[in-house]
Structure 1
Amino acid sequence: MSRATLLVLADGRFPAGGHAHSGGAEAAVAAGRVTGAADLAEFCRGRLHTSGLVAAALAAAAALGTDPLQLDEAADARTPSAALRTAARKLGRQMMRAARATWPSAELDALASARPRGAHQPVVLGLAARSAGLGPEDAAYVAAYESVSGPATAVVRLLSLDPFDATAVLARLAPDLDRVAADAAECARRVPEEGVDALPASSAPLLDIGAEAHAAWAVRLFAS
């Protein structure tokens, strides 16, 4: 495993399109559920242990070589919100473009051909990690971190939150990130014997409801 390669994939400047999405934070801010750093911490912790865990497990399974089309179907089944499915595929399409340019592989090419409109982002992320020579834990860490870094960055813009406070929120979530990444990788390792049902299916109903409402807004700062 190359730590330098892991840093490239995890870098917020990697051109995978995440900067245009708030991970549900914009809807949460509008609803008054996130008003400052303390609320942001709770929002991120909840997102990490639900949709973040699911994304991390899907990414880890893809990094292990599980059939990405099967994982894409599993991601669909775990994403009840049509708006979130659309967002995940848009992000997957952008991630695919960046990954194929950076770490070309036949597996990425095959998935791009099979899902021309985009596979779910965590699946593409995991396959990108595999193409880059990274392992399931690496993919899980990147997916888990993205699940909280996106909302934290968005809230800085949405509320003019002090960036130092937002970074402190992420730093204090480090133990939770470790646990989620480890749990996700362990679930992914069970897939060859147990099938995709071994992957978590944690739900976050408020994120789903917020995403559907957000998609109908006439004016918004973020795509999702």
Structure 2
Amino acid sequence: MTRAALLVLADGRFPAGGYAHSGGMEAAVASHSVHDTASLEAFCRGRLHTAGLTAAGLAAAAATGHDPLALDEAADARTPSPALRQVARRLGRQMLRAARATWPSPDLDQLARNRPQGVHQPVVLGATARSAGLTPLDAARCTAYENVSGPATAAVRLLSLDPLDATALLARLSGEIDDVARTAADAATRIPADGVSALPAASAPLLDIIGERHAARTVRLFAS
């Protein structure tokens, strides 16, 4: 295992397509739900403990070695919004392409063959972490962090916030990110042989609603 691989995977410059997505931030700004640093922090904290926790559980389970196709179906069941399911698969395709070039693996090649239409991004991230020699906790931590860093970075562009304030916000959330990652990784160790019911399934209905609204917009800066 190399800890540096975690830095590569979590780096916003890793060519997995995340830079084109705001994690619901553009829609939140358009609805005036997020308008300053305080409201951005509330949004990120809410996302972390709902969608972030769910995604981290899926990633940890994939890194543990559970069937990624079964996890992909579990991700579908945990994503009510058709628009967000499409986004997750699009991001998954891009991440899988980057992962296969970075950490070549027969498992990643098999996943690409089995689901050419794409696999949910957290599942791909977990499978990638496994191929890179990382732990399920590493995968969960990377996924949890990504769920708040993406929206925070997008908010800097959308609201012209001070980047230093956004970075300080992420630092304030670091303890909660670790807690969410540990909870997700622990859940991944308790998956029964006949299903994935032990994985987190926290819901965020508002993210689903604004995700659908954003997909219907004809003018937008981010893809989601």
Give the alignment's TM-score, normalised by structure 1.
0.99
Give the gaps of 5 or more residues in structure 1: none
2:167: which partner in 1? 167
**CA separation in 2, counterparts of 1:144 and 1:156?**
19
2:187 is aligned with 1:179: no
**CA separation in 2, counterparts of 1:46 and 1:206?**
10
Given that residues 192 and 198 in structure 2 are in contact (C-alpha distance below 8 angstroms), is that contact kept between their aligned partners in structure 1?
no
**CA separation in 1, counterparts of 2:117 and 2:223?**
17
2:21: which partner in 1? 21
Q: Deviations over 1:66-95 (max 9, x none)?
A: 000000000000000000000000000000
2:107: which partner in 1? 107
Tell me the SS of whatever aligns to 1:15. Answer: coil
**Which letter does structure 2 place at the counterpart of 1:73?**
E
**CA separation in 2, counterparts of 1:194 and 1:157?**
45
2:220 is aligned with 1:220: yes
Tell me the SS of whatever aligns to 1:90. Answer: helix
Count of aligned residue pairs for this structure pair: 224
Q: Deviations over 1:145-199 (max 9, x none)?
A: 0000000000000000110011111000011001000000000000145730000
1:63: which partner in 2? 63
Task: Give % identity.
Answer: 72
**CA separation in 2, counterparts of 1:10 and 1:214?**
26
**Which letter does structure 1 place at the counterpart of 2:104?**
P
Deviation of the 1:20 alpha carbon? 0.3
Q: Over aligned residues, Cα RMSD in angstroms?
A: 0.8
**CA separation in 2, counterparts of 1:174 and 1:193?**
33
Give the alignment's TM-score, normalised by structure 2.
0.99
